[in-house]
Chain A
Amino acid sequence: MSVSELARPLSMTLPGVVAHLRVLEGSGLVRSSKAGRVRTCRVDPGALRAAEAWIAERRTEWERRFDRLGELLGAPETEPESESRSKHDD
């Protein structure tokens, strides 16, 4: 993908995008090469997976807790909160 293609949907100047890409390259997440006047960028999937894996791990931790909360809330507590059975007025 060329730099101008990357920049098109972003509300950011082209030099701004170039600056960000330079940072990404420094992090090893993006690689670029120049052919003539066009600089093409591509993602280094290995590096990206590492960052995504770390965030996914945080998210998974919460998902697991919320499953457990669901089990707790799904089980009838001491107070009668029947959601599927027909209720009678208290």
Chain B
Amino acid sequence: MTEPVVHDTFVIEREYPAPPERVFAAWADPAIKVRWFVGPDEFVQNPLSLDFRVGGREHIDGGDPGGPVHSYDAEYREIVDNVRFVTTYTMRMDDTLASVSVATLEFEAIDGGTRMTMTEQGAYLIDGDTGPKSRLDGTNGLLDQLGVELARSAAGR
């Protein structure tokens, strides 16, 4: 049976008081990345593996003790040092595919630091097993970007 899928794009913008080289290095250097790219404090975390080059892969997993294992798997598709990079990545809950995404990170020098912009475009798979998605159980079909927008405007946003 076909599971519903939601397509969405979100953008997160942050400004950090450090030059682009240093912000970029926090992504590219595994020794730095392991210090911030981790799950919630209560997660039992397995080590990060990161091969930061085009075609290189990354993996980390972890989760609440006794709960599902959240796995993140990425592949680096484009890298322009200190400027941007593009990855494709998946999230799994145990063996269930939860999302497939394209993530673009851009780094721009601004006065006093760096503006970092993450754009994520994803297919979010709604299944009956995990988390808040279970409320959509028993439904078939497809919700696309139009649907999300239509629904939001109809909701009187």
Contact = CB atoms under 8 A, between A and B. Distances in A.
A42 B152 CA distance: 10
A68 to B, nearest CB: 4
B35 to A, nearest CB: 6
B124 interface: yes
A4 interface: no
Nearest to A24: B147
A7 to B, nearest CB: 10
- Grouping DSSP codes into helix (H, G, I), strand (E, B) and loop, the A interface class, with mixed when no group exceeds half, is helix
A42 B140 CA distance: 19
Interface residues of B, number: 49
A83 B38 contact: no
B151 A57 contact: no
Nearest to A46: B135
A77 B22 CA distance: 10
A51 B6 CA distance: 7
6 contacts: A24-B147, A30-B150, A68-B36, A69-B26, A69-B37, A73-B16
Interface of A: 1, 6, 10, 12, 20-21, 23-24, 26-30, 41-43, 45-51, 53-55, 57-59, 62-66, 68-74, 77, 79, 81, 83-84
User: Top 10 A-B pairs ranked by shortest CB distance?
Assistant: A26-B141, A50-B135, A53-B132, A68-B36, A27-B141, A73-B18, A83-B17, A69-B36, A28-B139, A73-B16
Given A23-B147, A68-B38, 4 more contacts: A55-B8, A62-B120, A73-B18, A83-B18
Interface of B: 4, 6, 8, 10, 12, 14, 16-19, 22-23, 26, 32, 35-38, 40, 91, 99, 112-113, 116, 118, 120, 122, 124, 126, 131-136, 139-144, 146-148, 150-151, 153-155
